[in-house]
Amino acid sequence: MPSKISLSQQVAENLTGLRLDQVAVELFPGYSRGRLQRWIKQGELTVDGKCVKPSSRVVGGEKLRIEAQMIFEGEVEPQDIPLDILFSDDHLLVLNKPAGLVVHPAAGNWDGTLQNALLNYDSELDTLPRSGIVHRLDKDTSGVMVVARSLKAHASLVKQLQTRSMSRIYEAVVKGEIPPAGTISAAIDRNPRDRKKMAVIKSGRAAISHYKLMQHLPGTSHVEVALESGRTHQIRVHMTHIAYPIVGDMIYGRGPIKQKGLPASAIKVINGFPRQALHARKLRLIHPESGDECEYSAPLADDISGLIETLKQALADA
């Protein structure tokens, strides 16, 4: 049965000049750009009560409203892919995503994704946008994620993401000896020279990350990072911006480490780590049904734990 979607958001001044479909993705992150474009064309997503084109530019202050029927479109097939479930009830599904698993189908990864796995785990998710996925982790980032299992939960989680009442804490191993703590406030947007990458750009979207040193290791630092915003590749871009790129990050990592005086074992494990050493450890949110504050954690991935232990041993052997 189709489900009724009724949502509204006001366009912030910092989005002035953007296309309507771009703004809709920002304000309604639980829905794909393609779906939002269809709703705009069908008059189910309006601007101040009027039907406009997806390419129309916003001026700021407009009210976007969605009044639509969510119908399963059969775009993603269920696939039997194991899931590490941390918590489940009628409204939420919290899981520990492994590195290497893409969150939802896209160019180059049309199946074998988390979304395929979710539909196999619970076929009722086919009535929800993106099968209940409201946020994402990069393919090679591991850790805790939450998925909505009801429309009420979906609306609540999307709102919590927008108002930043949902908080996320990550762990990472970065190159270099980072200071004890700091805040990175640097706007992020698409890299104008490579649209597949993100970059710190003054005219981009506001992004704030707070980091805290957990321990110094040979040639590296084990850090905790808390987000105030959720931009694409935010931690990876921010850490590179302050010259402490994440170990194993092939896109933003600035090549192999060549620090003099490091044990050979440390250099080998740092340069040979096969993915960005980034893990979503903790997620805090308000339960959409009970209103209780909830906290969910995913233990540090084995490969990152192994990296840290190897570096500790290299330090002990030095």
Sign of the CA dihedral running 234, 286, 64, 75: positive
Torsion of CA 205, 208, 214, 219, to 10 degrees: 50
- Kindly report the backbone phi and psi dihedral angles of residue 25, in degrees, each rounded to the nearest multiple of 5, phi listed first: -65, -40
User: What are 71's two structure tokens?
Assistant: 């119908």
Catalytic center residues: 138
- Kindly report the backbone phi and psi dihedral angles of residue 134, in degrees, each rounded to the nearest multiple of 5, phi listed first: -115, -15
Axis crossing angle, helix 264-272 with helix 302-317, rounded to the nearest 10: 160
- Kindly report the backbone phi and psi dihedral angles of residue 154, in degrees, each rounded to the nearest multiple of 5, phi listed first: -60, -50
Axis crossing angle, helix 20-27 with helix 33-41, rounded to the nearest 10: 120
Q: What is the DSSP pairing of strand 85-88 with strand 92-97?
A: antiparallel
Confirm if 75 and 13 have CB atoms less than 8 A apart.
no
Count the Cβ atoms, other than its own, within 10 Å of residue 11: 22
Report which of 20, 22, 29, 294 is spatially closest to residue 161, judged by C-alpha positions: 29
Q: What is the DSSP pairing of strand 142-148 with strand 85-88?
A: unpaired
Count the Cβ atoms, other than its own, within 10 Å of residue 121: 20
Confirm if 187 and 205 have CB atoms less than 8 A apart.
yes
Q: Tell me, rounded to whole angstroms, the distance of Cα 251 from its chain centroid.
A: 16
